[in-house]
Amino acid sequence: MTQSIESIQQKASTWLNSSVVDNQTKATIRQWMETDTKELTEAFYSDLEFGTGGLRGVMGVGTMRMNRYTVGMATQGLANYLKTQFSGDIHVAIAHDSRNNSPFFTQTAAQVLSANGIHVHLFSELRPTPLLSYAVRHLKAHAGIVITASHNPKEYNGYKVYWNDGAQVLPPNDKGIIAEVRKISSPDQVNFTGAAERIHAIGPEVEEAYQRDVSGLISAPEAIQRANDVSIVYTALHGAGITMVPKMLQNLGFANVTLVEEQAIPDGNFSTVQSPNPEEREALSMALSLADRIQADLVLGTDPDADRVGLAIRDDRGQLMLLNGNQAACLLVYYQLKQWRSANRLNGGQYIAKTIVTTDLLSRMAADFNVECYETLTGFKYIAEVIREKEGKAVFIAGGEESYGYSAGEFVRDKDAVLSSVLFCEIAAWCKDNGTTMFEMLLEIYAKYGLFHEYLLSLTMKGLDGLERIQQMMAELRTTPPLHLGGAPVVEIRDVQNDTVTDLTSGKIKKLHLPSSNVLQFILEDGSKISARPSGTEPKIKFYFSLRTSFDHQDNYHTIAAHMQTRIDAICEALKLK
């Protein structure tokens, strides 16, 4: 993995000798070569590649950073690959979020694509990622690009590629794009000279069509009208959600939506938060404080590109409870299943989907409703792959992943925080109209299927050294796996990378039948599950904990949850994670 300083200097020299790299960038590289070998190594030790979320990295100089040249090289490779896959006129739609340099990178990509004879369709301003997914299919484009780093800190930006089905690229297309990008060894191989006649504005008709399709998913419009005063606080966290979420809620009849005004302004510096990640309580602190002041029923917060949404609801003590992604997914899917069954729409031809690190409570729920549940690798693009494969054969009701990404219906092929926000508000209105609450619905789910207590621990390890440490941790878990965790024996080990399931009781090994991915899962005797997985989009290794126990309405949820969290803390200590 570690490259010699000579090879790194050689890679950097390619940029120094380039006729298109600007003088300021060259001056920075020369300074590093003379005085800062560590910074030079971090910037040039490799190339950014497409992971589970596409191209993503810190903005700055170098092949490992997001800048005009890496975006240009990636786009040139994409253009070359598109020409091998399609004939005639090729069309690509592009959207961007509020991050610093996102408009600039959007224009860079548009210039390179148009210079290569490809028609480009651009939104006039920032728009949510799910709208780009929708636009690709609506415009019958061959591909799409979103310039975003999702919920990463402000120093990051990224470049997500979508295929003609509106989903993020999968094998073999992702590998094909990477292969073409790798052929671009110098910025001089990029055609940056755009053709204005091939760059087109996307009109309002795309967004209007999306809004109609979202409205068509509403199961209980009459409940919304009767309980339209349900009190909602929404924060866009300085991102693209502000362009669509408030308007959608207003159009559907929600009359009591309060915005966190300080975070309604698009801002690539995310000046009011440490990180614009709705998975983190700190990011929603202003929204939670406002909700307590006005006694709102629920809080919604979308990340910068509005594909993830955080949700807080009132619990049985009247306090705001920030749900994790598993809990929110369960509410959304359970509500959809109940409404479909109530409307006699379940006939055996429907399904839900989740990822392997998302709660197994969804699988139990699906079995109860006699609906198929498909399990995929981590990343919503794999759920989108199922939707594509089942299109015309079975109907996707809803699904999601624990990282706060959910969707319903088949018209968007990615996680959709705009649609999810609308559905969560519908659930709140339906509950109010029926004399109950979202928290009571969650307890109803636990009473039916068991209480699953989930927790995510992410360990950040930046740079080349961090990547090597993450690889070492995964290697050690494979060679010396834990045999007991949290007072319970490990009875099964699932190694997705090696496609094996090892029964520790019998010693038998069988196939897992999933595509290879660097994921390990340890199954305990009581059915609890602990998963380890390096992130594909951030310099992190993630540990997913899912403990299960029985529950009935006489139990105190908070007491049980606290006890189970204590067990998780003990497991973390046993694995030396804290």
pLDDT reported for residue 1? 44
Q: Determine contact, residues 271/100, Cβ cutoff 8 Å.
A: no
**Span of 8-17, 173-182, 335-344 with lowest mean pLDDT:** 173-182
Q: Determine contact, residues 52/403, Cβ cutoff 8 Å.
A: no
Up-side HSE of residue 57: CA atoms within 13 Å toward CB?
Answer: 24
CA pair distance 354, 359, nearest whole angstrom: 8
Q: 401 - beta bridge partners?
A: 405
pTM of the model: 0.94
Tens of pLDDT, residues 89-111:
999 999 999 999 999 999 999 99
Fold of 451-574: TATA-Binding Protein (3.30.310)
Position 578 pLDDT exceeds 80:
no
Helical H runs in 434-523? 438-449, 463-479
pLDDT reported for residue 2? 56
Residue 319: count of CB within 10 angstroms of its CB: 12
Tens of pLDDT, residues 280-298:
999 999 999 999 999 999 9
pLDDT reported for residue 178? 83
Q: What angle do CA 309, 95, 260 make, to 5 degrees?
A: 40
Q: What angle do CA 300, 363, 441 make, to 5 degrees?
A: 45
CA pair distance 259, 262, nearest whole angstrom: 9
Residues marked active site are found at: 150
Q: Which of 53, 236, 263, 81 is nearest to 146 (CA)?
A: 53
pLDDT reported for residue 4? 86
Helical H runs in 159-270? 173-183, 204-215, 221-226, 245-251
Position 69 pLDDT exceeds 60:
yes
Fold of 228-432: Alpha-D-Glucose-1,6-Bisphosphate; Chain A, domain 3 (3.40.120)
Identity of the amino acid at 315:
D
Fold of 46-208: Alpha-D-Glucose-1,6-Bisphosphate; Chain A, domain 3 (3.40.120)
Query: If you average pLDDT over residues 152-181, what whole number do you get?
Result: 92
In the structure, what pLDDT confidence band is assigned to residue 463 with cuts at 50, 70 and 90? confident
pLDDT reported for residue 284? 98
Query: If you average pLDDT over residues 467-490, what whole number do you get?
Result: 92
Up-side HSE of residue 301: CA atoms within 13 Å toward CB?
Answer: 33
Question: Is the backbone peptide bond immediately before 534 cis, with ω within 30 degrees of 0?
Answer: no
Position 195 pLDDT exceeds 80:
yes
Position 54 pLDDT exceeds 70:
no
Residue 83: count of CB within 10 angstroms of its CB: 14
CA pair distance 162, 24, nearest whole angstrom: 33
Q: 352 - beta bridge partners?
A: 373, 398
In the structure, what pLDDT confidence band is assigned to residue 421 with cuts at 50, 70 and 90? very high
Position 270 pLDDT exceeds 90:
yes
Burial 113-148 (b: 16+ CB within 10 A, else e): bbbbebbbbbbeebbbbbbbbbbbbbbebbbbbbbb
Mean pLDDT score across all residues of the chain: 95
Residue 448: count of CB within 10 angstroms of its CB: 14
In the structure, what pLDDT confidence band is assigned to residue 323 with cuts at 50, 70 and 90? very high
Query: If you average pLDDT over residues 128-140, what whole number do you get?
Result: 98
Q: Which of 354, 409, 271, 308 is nearest to 53 (CA)?
A: 308
Query: If you average pLDDT over residues 320-327, what whole number do you get?
Result: 97
Identity of the amino acid at 442:
L
What are the domain boundaries of the chain? Answer: 46-208, 228-432, 451-574
Q: What angle do CA 66, 71, 74 make, to 5 degrees?
A: 120
Q: Do domains 46-208 and 451-574 have the same CATH topology?
A: no
CA pair distance 258, 314, nearest whole angstrom: 16
Straight-line distance from the first to the last Cα atom of the chain, in angstroms, rounded to the nearest whole number: 27
